A and B are shown apart, each in its own frame.
Chain A
Amino acid sequence: MATDLIPLGDPSLRQKVRLELVVNEERRDLVIDGYKSLLELLREELQLTGTKHGCELGECGACAVLLDGQLVLSCLVAAVECDGRSVQTVEGMQNGPTLHPLQSCFADAGAAQCGYCTPGFLLAAKELLERKPDATRAEIAEALSGQLCRCTGYLQIFEAVEAAAAQLRGGR
């Protein structure tokens, strides 16, 4: 193996970094390995394993979270760049014991089969509905076009988002 392509020796590369960020409305103060992505931070440092991964290269959408309210792929966000920022994951969607309308509609409409892509879809849909509460089917498909699902064929996901949008508009 071409070892020269992997830097191993330099101790400055092994220094830990310290960060403070807000995750699901809780402040966190962490000291972590500098190479970690936000995905690794959430799953490995905070045990928030609701955020999934299917490629770690930006190609599937399973790791999507909201960073300062924007949908991002946590596998392509360096944790060091999250200092002072605020993250929302699937674990932060429900209100106490009450599911977010998107969550209950996904559960009821068959939008989660294996459920592996579901957290990413939920957050992408949440960002959309906050921006466009009355999104059309075409806008939903477009907003979710960074998320891959191998199980559902997407149609029940679209229906779940539409049902949740109707509930949210109805003020429920």
Chain B
Amino acid sequence: MSEHRVIGKPLRRVDGRAKVTGQTRFADDLSLPGMLHMKLLRSTLPHARILAVDASRALALPGVKLVLTGADFPIPFGILPVSQDEHALCTDRVRFVGDPVAAVIAVDELTAYEATALIDVRYEPLATIADSEEALATPEPRLHDYGDDGNVHKRIAFDFGDVDGAMAKSERVFEDLAFFSGNTHLPIEQHATLAYVDGDGKLVVASSTQTPHYLHRALAKVLQLRAAHIRVIATPNGGGFGGKSDPFNHEIVAARAALVTGRPVKIALTREEVFYCHRGRHPVLMKVRTGVRKTERGFEIVGQELETLLDGGAYGSYGVASTFYTGALQTVTYRIPHYRFRGCRTFTNKPPCGPKRGHGTPQPRFLLEVHIDKICTALGIDPAAWRIDNAVPPDSLTANWLRVSSTGLVRCIEAVVKASGWNERRGQLRGDGGVARGLGLACSSYLCGAGLPIYWNELPHSGVQLQLDRSGRVTAFSGATEIGQGSDNVLVAIVAEVLGIDPLDVRCVTGDTDLTPVDLGSYSSRVTLMMGNAAIEAAERARLLLAGAVAEKLNVPASRLVFADRRVFDSEAPENGVEFAVAVQLAEAKHGTLGTTGSYRPPKSPGDYKGAGVGPSPAYSYSAAVVEVEVDPATGWLRVPKIWVAHDIGRAINPVLARGQVEGSVYMGLGEALMEEQAYRRLPPKLSGAHVHKFPSLLEYKSPGTLDMPDVETILIEEPDPNGPFGAKEVGQGPLLPIMPAVANAVFDAVGVRIDEVPITPEKIAKALASTSRRYGPTRFPTIAWPEPLVVPTPADGGDGKATNERPRKRELARGAVIAPPVEGKQP
């Protein structure tokens, strides 16, 4: 809108200059005098008991300073309070090839590496579990002694409303299965950490982390240090995408190594090790049943049942949340009056899965968007029109008690339908030289920050502090971390807008637990909304202070003052005003040193059943995409020449950066759709117990290059949300979600086969073309012993947000206990 001078303007991002000059200091760019280097020795067995670790030969190598092993790390950690199942170095058991067993600290990295080969580890191999179906069938040996049972980490079941009744009343029931292969974030920056003991004797850990706050907690817990004496600095991340959101082994081990040696210790992971850190997209097998009833214009959903089976890998990570997310957000796109969800996560001997861009939601979105396409085809209905008719309306409550405030979904669909020529071109495209062409459409929605924090407490999710200087410079402090998404820019833009100054007048200090108020981290698309609202609050408080002082000076009511163009002036007599710096001086004279704070906590969500914590968000973003494909029916070769995508962002704080987030999401979604896969292989069991990542390299994990990227037409839909700062919603994750199903739907439009498995490769298309079913995908979903479901009446059924059959819950976790209590006498 025109009254804004910063918001909505395509200004250069605040960190843009540093990034093009090479001045941005990523974690591995840091070095300190006397710095030592660390390497981890990782397990070469997929599952084994550790019998003995002998480091004597390594310690004898000249240049080696220290070797740490599992014995040095008895206290476990993990991102979720319910899954504290990792050790910084494995204590008694390794659970996947790549699990760290020992660390060597030496004068240089090559020496440290050479010494890892001199550590002798004796193992007793254990049986391995390769995937989730095997995990269900193999309760012993258990990977962990916690979890629901056997190698089942978590099983959940919900009935929202009378689903059986609804299904019984439906006219037709459609059923589908799909499998989404696992894939990984692949940030170009490999994780790195520099740990040192500061001049005051306190620990400093600078790391490529998206969540300095949670790393802070994990360090305090594992190292048994007073949290107030640990400083975590999140360096700018060279890409994260969710892959740097857990506290990691190497971070904690480097910290201990720095404490023990008294010298700075750095570790920079290799690409292979990044594949072992993983925390990427869970492989998910899914089944959906949808009951429909005919309507005048098509059909409506009367009930839906979704089952998901997640292959979690060797540790918990965010897995419990991921499991919930495979069900929670499926209701905010199209109207589903009755909804049943069952989710199960298993442990397997592979690097742990966790949150990747879209966390838990892209997999079922793929299934459901393809499912809708199939139902529309079966009933002869235009899938675009159906989606418009059945979009969740604004200001509504879903069957599982999520509150949708604003939605631009219909506008998104209309925009891509128009831009792509959907109505004229779908089903009509002809390719050249025997190549078939087709169009596919899909939609999605995503949250703008989770309604509940990981540790339940009453504290703000995001805090911003402002410090105002007499020079007219304002410094904004926030715990949010810049991972490339532009969060520093959002912070600066909002403060500059509210105070009417230039973004260059604002310095931001972010992601530093000693200097900045807590922000929970750059995950779940929460930063723009939450930090943005905190920034508005802090800036508006600052404005009040300045306005009061300027009003006195100019003798005009404070309400008439305008902050713009680095001035504070009378709206009725613009020449009557003061420079912003003078306004600060006036206020400082009046109030003393100036500083304000702002904080944000999401509104309470209406759902009040156990599990209602996953899914609620202050706002939901919406996306729609049309993908055009070319398929060679002779070979299955698939090419994507063009994508149209519309994203309801609420309000674009910076349209250039917003477009970049959309296109980056489309890119990553396309990689997942076409080629990316975190694949493993097990060697013939008769000959070997090996079970390894198939090819942990950038060459063989296929990430699309410049020649693989199609033309993308990006349309930003601005449907401001009352909960968003200036109406803004998220843009970093949502636009990824529709890409995979849109590709699958386009392949069907082109050659009439259904690929119900991601990635959609030429091999699979060729197989489907040659098959009688004209389909490639899973054919069965295993029987899972689901627990008794929580039965939650829907809002339409007159429910109150509670389950009818829930035992009283204890609101136990961590309320008040913010950070693990310190242990006395162990300060460095």
Most buried by B among A1, A113, A141: A113
Main secondary structure of the interface of B (DSSP, over half): loop
For residue B119, give the distance in angstroms from its CB to the closest CB of chain A.
7
Known contacts A62-B188, A153-B666; A114/B21 CB under 8 A? no
Q: Judge whether B20 and A115 touch: CB under 8 Å.
A: yes
Q: Once the chains are docked, how many angstroms separate the CA of A44 from the CA of B29?
A: 9
Q: State whether the Cβ of A110 lies closer than 8 Å to any Cβ in chain B.
A: yes
**Using Cβ atoms and an 8 Å threshold, which residues of chain B touch A154?**
667, 706, 709
Interface residues on A, range: 35 or more
**Using Cβ atoms and an 8 Å threshold, which residues of chain A touch B186?**
150
For residue B188, give the distance in angstroms from its CB to the closest CB of chain A.
4
Main secondary structure of the interface of A (DSSP, over half): loop
Q: Judge whether A55 and B271 touch: CB under 8 Å.
A: yes
For residue A144, give the distance in angstroms from its CB to the closest CB of chain B.
5
Known contacts A1-B119, A112-B16; A51/B699 CB under 8 A? no
Q: Judge whether A52 and B707 touch: CB under 8 Å.
A: no
Q: State whether the Cβ of B12 lies closer than 8 Å to any Cβ in chain A.
A: yes
Q: State whether the Cβ of B323 lies closer than 8 Å to any Cβ in chain A.
A: no
Q: State whether the Cβ of B34 lies closer than 8 Å to any Cβ in chain A.
A: no
Q: Judge whether B705 and A3 touch: CB under 8 Å.
A: no
Q: Judge whether B270 and A114 touch: CB under 8 Å.
A: no
Residues 46-72 of A, flagged 1 when their CB comes within 8 A of B and 0 if not, give 011111111111011010000000000
Q: Once the chains are docked, how many angstroms separate the CA of A116 from the CA of B18?
A: 11
Q: Judge whether B239 and A151 touch: CB under 8 Å.
A: yes
- Which listed residue (B26, B114, B656) contacts A109, Cβ 8 A? B656
The closest CB in chain A to the CB of B714 belongs to A155
**Using Cβ atoms and an 8 Å threshold, which residues of chain A touch B17?**
99, 107
Q: State whether the Cβ of B657 lies closer than 8 Å to any Cβ in chain A.
A: yes
Q: Judge whether A110 and B667 touch: CB under 8 Å.
A: no
Chain B residues 661-697 with CB under 8 Å of chain A are 663-668, 697
Q: State whether the Cβ of B396 lies closer than 8 Å to any Cβ in chain A.
A: no
Residues 25-51 of A, flagged 1 when their CB comes within 8 A of B and 0 if not, give 000000001010000000110011111
**Using Cβ atoms and an 8 Å threshold, which residues of chain B touch A118?**
19-20
Q: Once the chains are docked, how many angstroms separate the CA of A102 from the CA of B19?
A: 12
Known contacts A110-B13, A114-B238; A50/B709 CB under 8 A? no
Q: Judge whether A113 and B484 touch: CB under 8 Å.
A: yes
Q: Judge whether A6 and B188 touch: CB under 8 Å.
A: no
The closest CB in chain B to the CB of A91 belongs to B22
**Using Cβ atoms and an 8 Å threshold, which residues of chain B touch A54?**
188-190, 238, 271, 698
Q: Once the chains are docked, how many angstroms separate the CA of A1 from the CA of B697?
A: 21
- Which listed residue (A99, A140, A151) contacts B20, Cβ 8 A? A99
The closest CB in chain A to the CB of B665 belongs to A153
Residues 621-665 of B, flagged 1 when their CB comes within 8 A of A and 0 if not, give 000000000000000000000000000000000001101100111
Interface size on B, residues (CB 8 A): 65
For residue B738, give the distance in angstroms from its CB to the closest CB of chain A.
15
**Using Cβ atoms and an 8 Å threshold, which residues of chain A touch B709?**
141, 153-155
Chain A residues 85-113 with CB under 8 Å of chain B are 89-91, 93-94, 99, 102-104, 106-110, 112-113
The closest CB in chain A to the CB of B486 belongs to A113
Q: State whether the Cβ of B31 lies closer than 8 Å to any Cβ in chain A.
A: yes
Most buried by B among A2, A146, A151: A151
For residue A4, give the distance in angstroms from its CB to the closest CB of chain B.
10
**Using Cβ atoms and an 8 Å threshold, which residues of chain A touch B20?**
90, 99, 102-104, 106-107, 112, 115, 118, 122
Q: Once the chains are docked, how many angstroms separate the CA of A147 from the CA of B421?
A: 33
For residue A78, give the distance in angstroms from its CB to the closest CB of chain B.
14
Q: State whether the Cβ of A117 lies closer than 8 Å to any Cβ in chain B.
A: yes
**Using Cβ atoms and an 8 Å threshold, which residues of chain B touch A117?**
188, 238
Q: Judge whether B189 and A55 touch: CB under 8 Å.
A: no
The closest CB in chain A to the CB of B661 belongs to A113
**Using Cβ atoms and an 8 Å threshold, which residues of chain A touch B188?**
52, 54, 60, 62, 114, 116-117, 148-150
Residues 1-37 of A, flagged 1 when their CB comes within 8 A of B and 0 if not, give 1110110100000000000000000000000010100
- Which listed residue (A44, A52, A116, A153) contacts B712, Cβ 8 A? A153
Known contacts A56-B270, A153-B663; A1/B117 CB under 8 A? yes
Q: State whether the Cβ of A142 lies closer than 8 Å to any Cβ in chain B.
A: yes
Q: State whether the Cβ of A145 lies closer than 8 Å to any Cβ in chain B.
A: yes
Most buried by A among B118, B186, B189, B657: B189
Q: Judge whether A116 and B114 touch: CB under 8 Å.
A: no
Q: State whether the Cβ of B25 lies closer than 8 Å to any Cβ in chain A.
A: yes
Q: Once the chains are docked, how many angstroms separate the CA of A19 from the CA of B240?
A: 38
The closest CB in chain A to the CB of B57 belongs to A3
Chain B residues 104-127 with CB under 8 Å of chain A are 108, 110, 114, 116-120
**Using Cβ atoms and an 8 Å threshold, which residues of chain A touch B270?**
56
Q: Once the chains are docked, how many angstroms separate the CA of A54 from the CA of B108?
A: 19
Q: State whether the Cβ of A152 lies closer than 8 Å to any Cβ in chain B.
A: yes
- Which listed residue (A1, A59, A109, A145) contacts B706, Cβ 8 A? A145
Q: Judge whether A156 and B706 touch: CB under 8 Å.
A: no
Known contacts A49-B29, A54-B188, A153-B663; A116/B239 CB under 8 A? yes
Q: State whether the Cβ of B483 lies closer than 8 Å to any Cβ in chain A.
A: yes
The closest CB in chain A to the CB of B697 belongs to A59
- Which listed residue (B21, B118, B237, B666) contacts A90, Cβ 8 A? B21
Q: Judge whether B23 and A156 touch: CB under 8 Å.
A: no
Known contacts A1-B118, A107-B13, A107-B16; A150/B241 CB under 8 A? yes
Q: Judge whether B12 and A35 touch: CB under 8 Å.
A: no
Q: State whether the Cβ of B15 lies closer than 8 Å to any Cβ in chain A.
A: yes
Q: State whether the Cβ of B472 lies closer than 8 Å to any Cβ in chain A.
A: no
Most buried by B among A1, A102, A122: A1
**Using Cβ atoms and an 8 Å threshold, which residues of chain A touch B241?**
150
**Using Cβ atoms and an 8 Å threshold, which residues of chain B touch A6?**
114, 117
Q: Judge whether A142 and B707 touch: CB under 8 Å.
A: yes
Q: Judge whether B239 and A107 touch: CB under 8 Å.
A: no
**Using Cβ atoms and an 8 Å threshold, which residues of chain B touch A104?**
20
Q: State whether the Cβ of B236 lies closer than 8 Å to any Cβ in chain A.
A: yes
**Using Cβ atoms and an 8 Å threshold, which residues of chain B touch A57?**
271, 697-699
- Which listed residue (B19, B108, B271, B659) contacts A115, Cβ 8 A? B19
**Using Cβ atoms and an 8 Å threshold, which residues of chain A touch B41?**
1
Most buried by B among A43, A51, A93, A114: A114
Known contacts A3-B118, A116-B187, A145-B705; A153/B664 CB under 8 A? yes
**Using Cβ atoms and an 8 Å threshold, which residues of chain B touch A148?**
188, 698, 703, 705
Q: Once the chains are docked, how many angstroms separate the CA of A51 from the CA of B207?
A: 19
Q: Once the chains are docked, how many angstroms separate the CA of A43 from the CA of B236?
A: 18
Q: State whether the Cβ of B485 lies closer than 8 Å to any Cβ in chain A.
A: yes
**Using Cβ atoms and an 8 Å threshold, which residues of chain B touch A108?**
12, 16, 656
- Which listed residue (B22, B117, B236, B660) contacts A50, Cβ 8 A? B22
Since A90-B22, A110-B13 are in contact, a sample of 19 more A-B pairs with Cβ atoms closer than 8 Å, ordered by chain A residue number, is: A1-B118, A2-B117, A6-B117, A49-B22, A57-B271, A99-B20, A104-B20, A107-B12, A107-B16, A107-B20, A114-B239, A116-B189, A117-B188, A144-B706, A145-B706, A150-B185, A150-B241, A151-B239, A153-B666
A-B contacts, 27 of them at CB < 8 A, read A3-B117, A8-B61, A33-B108, A47-B31, A49-B25, A49-B28, A50-B21, A50-B23, A52-B188, A59-B271, A60-B188, A94-B21, A106-B19, A108-B656, A110-B13, A113-B239, A114-B236, A114-B239, A116-B484, A142-B707, A147-B706, A150-B187, A151-B239, A153-B712, A155-B712, A156-B659, A156-B663
Q: Residues on B close to A: CB < 8 A?
A: 12-13, 15-26, 28-29, 31, 41, 61, 108, 110, 114, 116-120, 185-190, 236-241, 270-271, 483-486, 656-657, 659-660, 663-668, 697-699, 703, 705-707, 709, 711-712
Please name the 10 residue pairs, one residue from A and one from B, whose CB atoms are nearest each other, closest first.
A50-B22, A114-B484, A116-B238, A115-B19, A153-B667, A107-B16, A153-B663, A49-B29, A59-B698, A1-B117
